[in-house]
Structure 1
């Protein structure tokens, strides 16, 4: 069977975009009251998003065959796995800025919309580069291998949300009121329109996700350069990111060794991309999918076994639905250090 070609009929793009828009609208309608999302509700929505992602793969299988569906599922698994790493940083940002639990879903909702747009741009640019200049496969492959190395051996690098370049820029260019005004991103103070702290948080989430997208998009492009498959895999994985956050943020302490699996996953994607421009050629999709599943299964099992019997979080400890902050937005953390975090071993600007 042939893999889905890069040129997809416009109706397919429109159908995919319409389906995503409908799902986003349903999600927004269900959470229009800004209620605090509990574990049961988050698990239910996660099941809905995962079912939608798997169902799209089945549709792709019927429409374009097993190779296209296999490439989609492999890309979906990679993006879904890397999304777990994103949850670490989102939890850090929400805790750092003391975001009320009721407003966290709204920030993630608009963050997802921005992620879909930015990733679409990255996908088209990356696919065009890979198809036009063969040597970009070596560049992207080396980038993925290096990112995997940094994730494995420099995973404890600190992240400082308030030092993010875009966050600093928005504070310099636009008037900011360092307080929350309900769920509003903008408000008026003294007759002047200002940015609320919730908008600053959204900028921090968007800026970090923009960086996250570089390696995840490159990893999926290592499997296929079909922009339709790559964006569909990204979209369905990212759509469930909000529910995944509320499901996993309180359980991240159990995933102590997952970053090793993600590092191997990125390294494998990099090597696969490099081999695609050598006499070895592209690795078979079934082999790729099998390797991805095996890597994730081993790293998750290793983490759960290593943390078996671990003590539960102490009372007052941060959870996805909690509101306790690590530090105040504009005050230094204890001992003058900003709250630490982890994300693919790279310190952020």
Structure 2
């Protein structure tokens, strides 16, 4: 669907718009890998039964689309009025890239996670699941089941991830339609990718550094754009695709050694 949309966009608005869409889509899809890894940890922490995980993902994806549209509209309006915001977004991307390179091991214990603790503080939750229900009656009062808490944590986690991903795609294009549709198709692909990524994420050792390289490139591109040195969308698309492909291939080669 994503490829068909990009090709159709190319026929309608030209190759440049199609290149912007594919660059944004590849970028957002690669950043979504980290989202999925966190989703796996959240499911493990809350011990969500496998049969209910797709339902949680569906609600999480619907919420993510709404929140990201809001952030994109806000970001577009801000960038149009304050060009210097580009430097702030570039700094966010460079810091995110630095974290990816500096981070040696993912913390699999979510008990001290700020988002988890905040949700547990404000949402009264039962200790057990009640089928696939989000709400249930316990001791004569309505309470949330752990399934609803899981959705809430996933939604807030996605908002936190959007702080990285939205600035990144703005580094590729300023067209709000392209920014939103590339995000939309990347988010819709999360559910399909979940089963694959949850099993093979640990084997892709070089994918995270590759994502860090891409974020660094987009960050420096935004700085150059601010000072009048434009890097073409075709170059951006080629760099993103090459970096991500190299990360995956190197990971697969290491696995076969």
Calculate the TM-score normalised by the size of structure 1. 0.71
**8 A contact 1:258–1:303 mirrored in 2:** yes
Pair 289,57 (structure 1): closer, same or farther in 2 beyond 3 Å? same
Match of 2:173 in 1: 224
**8 A contact 2:134–2:144 mirrored in 1:** yes
State the 1:288 CA deviation.
Answer: 0.8
Pair 123,159 (structure 1): closer, same or farther in 2 beyond 3 Å? farther
Match of 1:249 in 2: 198
Pair 269,159 (structure 1): closer, same or farther in 2 beyond 3 Å? farther
Deviates more, 1:184-193 or 1:71-80: 184-193
Q: Give the 3-state SS of the residue equivalent to 1:144 in structure 2.
A: helix
Match of 2:213 in 1: 264
**8 A contact 1:161–1:204 mirrored in 2:** no
Distance across 1 between alignment mates of 2:159 and 2:114: 12
**8 A contact 1:164–1:204 mirrored in 2:** no
Runs of 4+ in 1 over 4 A off after TM superposition: none
Distance across 2 between alignment mates of 1:122 and 1:247: 29
Unaligned runs of 5+ in 1: 1-51, 310-349
Matches within 5 A, 1:1-349: 52-158=1-107, 160-280=109-229, 282-308=230-256
By percentage of residues, which structure has more helix?
2
State the 1:163 CA deviation.
Answer: 3.5
Q: Give the 3-state SS of the residue equivalent to 1:202 in structure 2.
A: helix
Q: Give a deviation string over 1:187-246, Cα, whole Å, max 9, x none.
A: 111321100011111111111111111111110000111111101000001001011011
* Higher Cα radius of gyration: 1
Q: CA RMSD in A?
A: 1.4
Calculate the TM-score normalised by the size of structure 2. 0.95
Unaligned runs of 5+ in 2: none
Q: Give a deviation string over 1:121-149, Cα, whole Å, max 9, x none.
A: 11111222222111111110111011101
